[in-house]
Structure 1
């Protein structure tokens, strides 16, 4: 009886250890910019938290940065008026970052597959983004 109890306890311990190992990777998985998205970064030079944009957004107010492989600075912050750089992984369309909502005012174009720090008129002053 004692051997059976030890074997059962050992099996449960190993099973629990396996579950712990199996879930550890998902909690620390790094987020990257991927093909088809324009990634907006909280900091210059594509650093800090990011937002992956896949469609036109007339007002960034309800969209938020999340931690990325490049860091977590700015995670949870609204994208509107807080973007410093853009890395465009959409290889078919460029993206324009606009000063005002609804794609108006000053803008900066980032070509398909291109990347740039936002210029002084738009850095931390962007309100909308549209693919072209």
Structure 2
């Protein structure tokens, strides 16, 4: 498993570039990587997701909008490179570590470094369906996701 920072396009390109390089070296037609999403937002803040309610369990720290918590795929010529996002053990514990982020978060905290930025968590990938707004607080106060979104969450978007 790889740890990467999701707070910049550069990190995404590095992860995808690594998959592309592996594909080129081994001559495969596709590459797949599991990406643990943990403590990636230390410098910029972001939305911190936890596997269990009450902000317990494994964590996934996502710094920007994310169209699909499952991960992403990128075509490299005729091959498809895919990254799958999973929870990582952290200070909330290891319960849920290695589990897909998509449809498995139960609690969140908004630790945006920019005052006034709120995040919205969505039921569906692509920012649609039932939603819950997570307002900015100076201390990143954690909240449990509502019953529509607990373990049924697929994307997030930031709003100023």
Normalising by structure 2, we get a TM-score of 0.60
Give the Cα–Cα distance (whole angstroms) in 1 for the partners of residues 41 and 95 of structure 2.
Answer: 16
Give the Cα–Cα distance (whole angstroms) in 2 for the partners of residues 37 and 47 of structure 1.
Answer: 17
CA deviation map 1:63-118 (0-9, x unaligned): 21101111000011111100000011114211110001100011000001343100
Question: Which residue is 2:110 aligned to?
Answer: 88
Give the Cα–Cα distance (whole angstroms) in 2 for the partners of residues 110 and 88 of structure 1.
Answer: 6
Task: Provide the aligned C-alpha RMSD in A.
Answer: 1.7
Is the 2:121–2:154 contact (alpha carbons within 8 Å) kept by the matching residues of 1? Answer: yes
Larger radius of gyration: 1
Give the Cα–Cα distance (whole angstroms) in 2 for the partners of residues 68 and 94 of structure 1.
Answer: 24
Gaps of 5+ in 1: 1-30
Question: Which residue is 1:128 aligned to?
Answer: 155
Greater helix proportion: 1
Question: Which residue is 1:22 aligned to?
Answer: none
Runs of 4 or more off by more than 6 Å in structure 1? none
Normalising by structure 1, we get a TM-score of 0.72
Give the Cα–Cα distance (whole angstroms) in 2 for the partners of residues 68 and 33 of structure 1.
Answer: 13
The count of corresponding residues between Structure 1 and Structure 2 is: 102
